[in-house]
Chains A and B, each alone.
Chain A
Amino acid sequence: MYFLQSAFKSIRKNYLMTFASVFVLMACMLIIGSAYLCSANIAAFMDSLGEKNEIVAYVDDAVEESRLASLQEEIESIDYVESVEYVTKDEALAEYQQQFEEDASYLSWFYGDENPLRNEFRIQVSEKNLEEFESVSAKIAAMEEIANISDSQEVVNMLISLKKVMDILGFWIMIILALVSWFIVSNTIKLAMYNRRHEINIMKYVGATNAFIRTPFILEGIMIGLCAAVVSFAVQWIIYVYLLQPLVADLSFITTVPFARLSPMIMLYFGGIGLLVGLVGSAFSINKYLKV
Chain B
Amino acid sequence: MILFDDVYKSYPNGTNALNGVSFKIEDGEFVFVIGPSGAGKSTVIKLLMHEEVPTGGTVRVGDFDIKKMRNSKVPMLRRSMGVVFQDFRLIDNLTVFDNVAFAMRAVGCSPRTIRRRVPYVLGVVGLGHKAKNFPPELSGGEQQRVALARALVNNPHLIIADEPTGNVDPEMAREIMELLNQINQNGTTVIVVTHDNTLVNEFNKRVIHIEKGRLVGDQVGGYYAEEE
Contacts and interface: CB of A to CB of B under 8 A. Distances in A.
Nearest to B77: A207
Interface stretch (A131-139, A170-178, A196-204, A264-272): A196-204
The bracket for how many chain B residues form the interface is 20 to 34
A205 B107 contact: no
B111 interface: yes
Contact of A292 (B51, B83, B85, B154): B51
A199 B91 contact: yes
A286 to B, nearest CB: 15
Nearest to A9: B93
Contacts of A292: 51
Contact of B107 (A2, A198, A201, A206): A206
A292 B77 CA distance: 13
Interface residues of A, number: 15
B111 A1 contact: yes
Nearest to B93: A199
Interface of B: 49, 51, 72, 75-79, 83, 85, 89-91, 94, 102-103, 105-108, 111, 150, 154
A287 to B, nearest CB: 11
B78 A207 contact: yes
B91 A206 contact: no
Contacts of A2: 105, 111
Given A199-B94, A206-B102, A206-B106, 20 more contacts: A2-B105, A202-B89, A202-B90, A202-B102, A203-B106, A205-B78, A205-B83, A206-B78, A206-B79, A206-B103, A206-B107, A207-B75, A207-B77, A207-B78, A207-B103, A207-B107, A207-B154, A208-B75, A209-B72, A212-B108
Most central of B77, B83, B90, B105 by chain A CB within 10 Å: B105
A205 B111 contact: no
Contacts of A1: 111
Contacts of B75: 204, 207-209
A211 to B, nearest CB: 9
B79 A207 contact: yes
Most central of A199, A209, A212, A292 by chain B CB within 10 Å: A209
Contacts of A202: 89-91, 102
B91 A198 contact: yes
Contacts of A212: 106, 108
